[in-house]
């Protein structure tokens, strides 16, 4: 079966612009996670969804970042008024449910570059 | 807050030599522990996980890790390195329902022929 997919694979934008990053999780996975990986660092948690609702958004750095999952499947991470510091690889992962025992399956990521 | 420390941002071994990648976590309660591998231009792939069933965990590609509560460690080992093991390895911890992963900074493994 298909794994987690993310589009676009690369996104270059100018400072101040708005961007949307898309994640298609594995079918049937109820939990979906967003992480951000800056150069030379490990992934950092941003937000996770259980179904349609954001169960934990404590990792979102500020109110320019927002994510939705309206039908409990595809999720979109939205960044307003992008800044150069937002440049990173944005990773999406999904798991069967949020139990800590379950493996998270990661997508290939979207590399965002803000000029 | 939980944290994960990976000692050594770069490790270099010869082909056939022992691989040892170190990971320490900060928690007084045994957490869920994971090792992920990231090959160039690919997504993170789970190598193995500890979920309290056994302290010695075997994963894919000949890797294993031992959970040592007294040392708060979960070091990754492989008896004999192969060229295909060259990649970046991440240790991660999760404590609660919700499965939010906290990652270490990663260790890049280089295998010399």
pLDDT score, position B97: 59
Nearest to A109 among B43, B46, B102 (CB): B43
Q: What are phi and psi of B62, to 5 degrees?
A: 80, 5
Assess contact for A28 and A96: CB atoms under 8 A.
yes
When comparing pLDDT for A6 and B97, which is higher? A6
Does the pLDDT at position A53 exceed 60? yes
pLDDT score, position A3: 92
Question: With bands split at pLDDT 50, 70 and 90, how would you rate the model's confidence at B30?
Answer: low
Residue (of B79, B90, B50, B80) closest to B67 by Cα position: B50
Q: For residue A1, give how far its alpha carbon lies from the nearest alpha carbon of chain B (Å).
A: 16
Assess contact for B69 and B81: CB atoms under 8 A.
no
* Residue reference for tokens 């082909």: B15
Contact: A56, B100; criterion CB under 8 Å: yes
Assess contact for B43 and A107: CB atoms under 8 A.
yes
In this complex, how many residue pairs, one in chain A and one in chain B, have their CB atoms less than 8 Å apart?
A: 73
Does the pLDDT at position A1 exceed 90? no
Q: Report residue A62 as tokens.
A: 């500020």
- Rounded to the nearest 10 degrees, how much is the dihedral formed by the CA atoms of B47, B11, A91, A53? 60
* Rounded mean pLDDT, A16-36: 96
CA gap B100, B107 in Å, rounded: 21
pLDDT score, position A82: 98
| Mean pLDDT, rounded, of chain A | 94
pLDDT in tens, B65-80: 999 988 999 999 999 9
Contact: A103, B49; criterion CB under 8 Å: yes
């Amino acid at each position: 079966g298909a794994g987690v997919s993310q589009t676009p694979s690369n996104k270059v934008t100018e400072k101040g612009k708005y961007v949307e990053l898309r994640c298609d999780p594995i079918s049937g996975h109820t939990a979906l996670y967003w992480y951000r990986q800056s150069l030379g660092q490990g992934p950092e948690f941003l937000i996770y969804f259980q179904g349609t609702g954001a169960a934990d958004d404590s990792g979102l750095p500020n109110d320019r970042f927002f994510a939705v999952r309206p039908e409990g499947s595809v999720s979109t991470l939205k960044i307003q008024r992008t800044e150069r510091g937002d440049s990173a690889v944005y990773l999406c992962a999904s798991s069967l449910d949020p139990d800590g025992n379950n493996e998270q399956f990661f997508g290939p990521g979207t590399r965002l570059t803000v000029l | 807050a939980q944290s994960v420390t990976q000692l050594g941002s770069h490790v270099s071994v010869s082909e056939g030599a022992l691989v040892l990648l170190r990971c320490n976590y900060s928690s007084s309660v045994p957490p869920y522990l994971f090792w992920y591998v990231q090959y160039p231009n690919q997504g993170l792939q789970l190598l193995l996980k500890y979920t309290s069933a056994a302290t010695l965990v075997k994963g894919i590609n000949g890797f294993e890790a031992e959970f040592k509560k007294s040392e708060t460690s979960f070091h990754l080992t492989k008896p004999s390195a192969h060229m295909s093991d060259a990649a970046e390895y991440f240790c991660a911890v999760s404590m609660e329902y919700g499965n939010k992963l906290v990652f270490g900074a990663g260790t890049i493994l280089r295998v010399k022929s």
